[in-house]
Amino acid sequence: MGSPAPPRHLFVVFGATGDLFQRKLLPTMFRLSAQGKFPPGCLLLGVARHPLDDAGFRALALASLRAAKAGTDEELQRFCDSTLLYHRLSEESAAGYGVLRSHIEQIEASHLLDGNRLFYLALPLDAFTPTLTGIGQAGLNKAPGWTRVVIEKPFGRDLASAQALNRLLRGMFEESQIYRIDHYLGKETVQNLLVFRFANMFVESMWTRDRIEHVEITVAEKLGLEGRAQYYDDSGALRDMVQNHVTQLLTLVGMEPPATKDEDAIRNEKVKVLRSIVRIDPSDVVRGQYTAGTVDGAAVLGYRQEPGIPPTSTTETFVALRLKIANWRWQNVPFFVRTGKRLPAKASRVVLTLRAPPVSFFQAEGEYEASPDRITILVQPDEGFEIAFEVKVPGREIRVQTQRMKFHYADVFGELPDGYETLLIDVMLGDPTLFVRADEVEESWRLYAPLLENPPPVVFYAANTWGPEEAQTLVEQWGHRWNPP
């Protein structure tokens, strides 16, 4: 039995001429439509300041879809003509949003829609407040049917701004109507982590301090700034990656089994993990910044030489952390976290290293160097799971070798859906399980607030290396080394 079809609605996108919508969301909406998952009769209304009409917006969208190689020209043109409409927001004032409301009501009446509205803010952080204020002043949050609002990360840039944003949202929407989207949570491996843990007794029985010696979370990026200099220098790796993507992985790995698969039961357990993390000591933090190097045989600039970056910038492009979760399951199990730009590979993974046997007669005889068993969760690329364990090499002598038992999604299920596909369907169905709740946002910012207020000094690493030496020292102090992706 398939999933239920979302009800007909008007999908309103603010920032519809911007990069996020044109490059990411629009191809995703086309794929959903092609798969029959975007209900027939639903319309997408793009809202932006550019002086376009419906035809001009459709031409812009068609060019973006062609660039994404989303489908044939005939398929793309049919989608644009049947689905896309445009509204120019000529002024960001009560009057301007009043005109938008009239346009929306006219569309709903002429296309016999039921008054269900989904507002997607594909906007930079500083545009959230005026847009949400305009929506509220025009009464757009009170529709004849249901109303939902989607906002992209970052959800604030510190604790105070996150709290202010949450107050603004709650002033016009119920929490059940608010969808804070982090595309990482739409990835199949991230979702299947709950099944892997809680549907497999042999896995969950190992998921404790008695069996696991330490946990590593790596989110590595090979690219540099890619034209985002102004945004990135104002945020840095801690705000851009650790507070959201990395922390989401951390909570899913660290959470207790929820009583049910109800969305609040799962999100409650994630919040408990954040509240259990011990205040981060500055000695457990490494902030790095890349210098010039060579990537794929080509010379690349250092961060301070990138166009648009001040030559004395202290913004971090790399962060490594040692975290401690003070609860029954994880007491004395260190969590090592790292993320950075200009690293040797693009990779996101979680590695749980199991404790060594308390007694090993192989080690006692000096026949081999112990290699601990490991469970690896591959988030990207090659999504899946691996379990590393020791086996005997055939022959008379006892020689031991590490082997891996692997499961990769692509080998079994073929190409996986994009994270946005999963999450957009969930929004349309009204399922908030994979979205971030207000208290989770605030607890995450509260955890990292001391590091933002008094950041440790930046140290340097060459592009195309795995970060500064200090990051290696951070784990070596506990007798470990980072597992190579």
- Active-site positions read 245
Token pair listed for 50 = 């550019």
Question: CA 29, 32, 34: angle at the middle one, nearest 5?
Answer: 110
Round to whole Å and give the CA distance between 115 and 9. Answer: 7
* Phi and psi based region of residue 345 (left: phi greater than 0; alpha: psi -120 to 50; beta: remaining): beta
> Which candidate, 297, 343, 348, places its Cα nearest to that of 318?
343
Token pair listed for 172 = 């016009």
DSSP E strands: which ranges in 208-359?
A: 212-220, 285-291, 293-295, 298-300, 318-324, 334-340, 347-354
> Which candidate, 59, 81, 61, 82, places its Cα nearest to that of 70?
61
Q: What is the DSSP letter of 18?
A: S
Q: Is 327 helix (H, G, I), strand (E, B) or coil?
A: coil
- Contact in structure between 387 and 404 (CB atoms under 8 Å): yes
Name the residue with tokens 């590695």. Answer: 351
- Contact in structure between 435 and 180 (CB atoms under 8 Å): yes
User: How many CB atoms are closer than 10 A to CB 374?
Assistant: 19
| Paired strand residues for 179 | 150
Name the residue with tokens 């080394």. Answer: 481
Tell me which amino acid residue 440 is.
Answer: E
Name the residue with tokens 């944003």. Answer: 165
Phi, psi of 214 (to 5 degrees): -160, 165
Token pair listed for 70 = 């989303």
